[in-house]
C-alpha cells in the first residue's frame, strides 16, 4: 500500500544545492524522481535519470519495497564497469534513496550502508602541462576554434556553459572584458578575461544580435557538446597529444596552473563555480609542489 506523504513543516530541505519547499509531496516513485531531479541541469537530469532507470529495471520493484540486499545485488551486477562508472551509478541511486528518506517517502535510507567501490583518483592524469596548452592554441588554424579553446582554458568553463554563451554574456571591461556564466544549480558567476582572451572573442558574433550564440555551428545554432568535443580532440591530436583529451581537461588545467602560479584557492573556487573549496583542493593533491620524497638522499 502506497503512502501519501505531505510535509507540513514550514522549513525547507536542502539537497545538494536544490532547496525543497516543505509542502512538496511524493505518492509514487515517479513523483519522487521528479522532485529529486527538479532544478538540476538538463545534463545532470539525463545522467541521474539513466542511472536510476537502470537500477529500477534491475530490481523490478517499487523503491519502497527495495532492501539493502537488492541494492547490493545491483552493485554486484555492475562489476564489469570501470570503478569510476560503478561509483557514478551507485552514487546516483544512493542520493535518490537518501532524498526519499529525508522527505518521508521512504521509511529507511537503505542505501546509506552501501560502500562505494574503491576508485583510484586519476585527476593528475587529466591535467595537461602549460606547454601543451600553448601548443594546442598555437596550432589551431580556425579563429573560432582557437577562441573556443582559449576560453575553455582561460575561464575554466564547463562545455555546457560554453555552448550556452550568447553575445549578451560578454561585456567590455576597461581594456579587456568579462563573461557571465550560468553554472550548475542555476548559479551565475562572472569571470574576468585577459586582454588577449578578450581580443580573441571580439568580432566572433558579427550579426549584431546579443541573443546569437558566441560559438556557432555552420547552420547558425550553438555548437553542441559533441561538436565542442570533436574540436578539442582534433586540436589535441594536432599538438601531438595522444590522450583522449576532453573539454573538461582544459578546466582541470586552468585550476591546476592557477594554483601552481600562486592564485588563492578561494579565487579559483569562485572562478570555476565550485560549491566547496574542498573540490578545488583536489588539484593541490593531484599536482603537489613539494614532497617529503624530495628531502631524501636517494
Q: Which residues are catalytic?
A: 158, 184, 248, 251, 274, 283
Q: What is the 3-state secondary structure (H, E, C) of the chain?
A: CCCCEECCCCCEEEECCEEEECCCEECCHHHHHHHHHCCCCHHHHHHHHHHHHHHHHHHCCCHHHCCHHHHHHHHHHCCCCCHHHHHHHHHHHHHHHHHHHHCCCCCCCCCCCCCCCCCCCCHHHHCCCHHHHHHHHHHCCCHHHHHHHHHHHHCCCCHHHHHCCEHHHEEEECCEEEEEEECHHHCEEEEEECHHHHHHHCCCCCCCCCCCECCECCCCCECCHHHHHHHHHHHHHHCCCCCCCCHHHHHHHHHHHHHHCCCCHHHHHHHHCCCCHHHHHHHHHHCCCCCHHHHCCC
Torsion (CA) 36, 39, 42, 43 in degrees, nearest 10: -70
Confirm if 165 and 182 have CB atoms less than 8 A apart.
no
User: What count of other Cβ atoms lies within 10 Å of the Cβ of residue 87?
Assistant: 16
Question: How far, in whole angstroms, is CA 282 from its chain's centroid?
Answer: 15
Positive or negative, the CA dihedral 261, 263, 268, 269 is: positive
Q: Which three cell numbers stand for residue 48?
A: 541521474
Amino acid at each position: 500500500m502506497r503512502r501519501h506523504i505531505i510535509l507540513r513543516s514550514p522549513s525547507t530541505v536542502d539537497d545538494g544545492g536544490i532547496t525543497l519547499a516543505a509542502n512538496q509531496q511524493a505518492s509514487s516513485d515517479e513523483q519522487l524522481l521528479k522532485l529529486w531531479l527538479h532544478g538540476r541541469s538538463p545534463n545532470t537530469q539525463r545522467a541521474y535519470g539513466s542511472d536510476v532507470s537502470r537500477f529500477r529495471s534491475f530490481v523490478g520493484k517499487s523503491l519502497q519495497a527495495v532492501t539493502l540486499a537488492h541494492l547490493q545485488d545491483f552493485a554486484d551486477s555492475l562489476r564489469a564497469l570501470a570503478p569510476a562508472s560503478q561509483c557514478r551509478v551507485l552514487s546516483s541511486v544512493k542520493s535518490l534513496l537518501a532524498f526519499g528518506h529525508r522527505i518521508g517517502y521512504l521509511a529507511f535510507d537503505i542505501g546509506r550502508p552501501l560502500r562505494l567501490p574503491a576508485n583510484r583518483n586519476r585527476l593528475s592524469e587529466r591535467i595537461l602541462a602549460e606547454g601543451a596548452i600553448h601548443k594546442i592554441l598555437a596550432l589551431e588554424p580556425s579563429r573560432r576554434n582557437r577562441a573556443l579553446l582559449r576560453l575553455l582554458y582561460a575561464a575554466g568553463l564547463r562545455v555546457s556553459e560554453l555552448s550556452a554563451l550568447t553575445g549578451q554574456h560578454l561585456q567590455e571591461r576597461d581594456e579587456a572584458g568579462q563573461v557571465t556564466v550560468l553554472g550548475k544549480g542555476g548559479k551565475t558567476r562572472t569571470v574576468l578575461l585577459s586582454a588577449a582572451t578578450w581580443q580573441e572573442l571580439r568580432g566572433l558574433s558579427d550579426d549584431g544580435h546579443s541573443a546569437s550564440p558566441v560559438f556557432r555551428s555552420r547552420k547558425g545554432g550553438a555548437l553542441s557538446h559533441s561538436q565542442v568535443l570533436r574540436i578539442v580532440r582534433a586540436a589535441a591530436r594536432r599538438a601531438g597529444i595522444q590522450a583522449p583529451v576532453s573539454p573538461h581537461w582544459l578546466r582541470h588545467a586552468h585550476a591546476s596552473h592557477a594554483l601552481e602560479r600562486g592564485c588563492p584557492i578561494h579565487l579559483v573556487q569562485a572562478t570555476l563555480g565550485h560549491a566547496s573549496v574542498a573540490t578545488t583542493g583536489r588539484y593541490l593533491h593531484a599536482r603537489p609542489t613539494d614532497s617529503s620524497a624530495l628531502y631524501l638522499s636517494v
